[in-house]
Structure 1
């Protein structure tokens, strides 16, 4: 059987999306515009989820 290469993505995008959407809904309620709050939550969640927060050792890659 062949070994499958594991993805380097840690899979934390869903966590950030959930947190940011919840915060976006809260801010949307405060601003009396829930649609904008949800949209901003999705945008911030995607941005935070795509950031790689662990330092990479470039020496190991070479």
Structure 2
């Protein structure tokens, strides 16, 4: 069985070759729009979380949750 430590993204293709399979994956994350590599880059350049979220989800309204 493959788990999250072997197959780290939901963005992959599976190719069958006889009795074997080859998984070609791409990405790093959850697949819902926020590039974790890109977000890390923004953070390393000093951007705060609010700026990063607004970059990936333009027009979003962010509110405090109690």
Shorter-chain TM-score above 0.5:
no
Which has the larger share of helix? 1
Which has the larger share of strand? 2
User: More relative contact order in 1 or in 2 (CA 8 Å, sep 6+)?
Assistant: 1
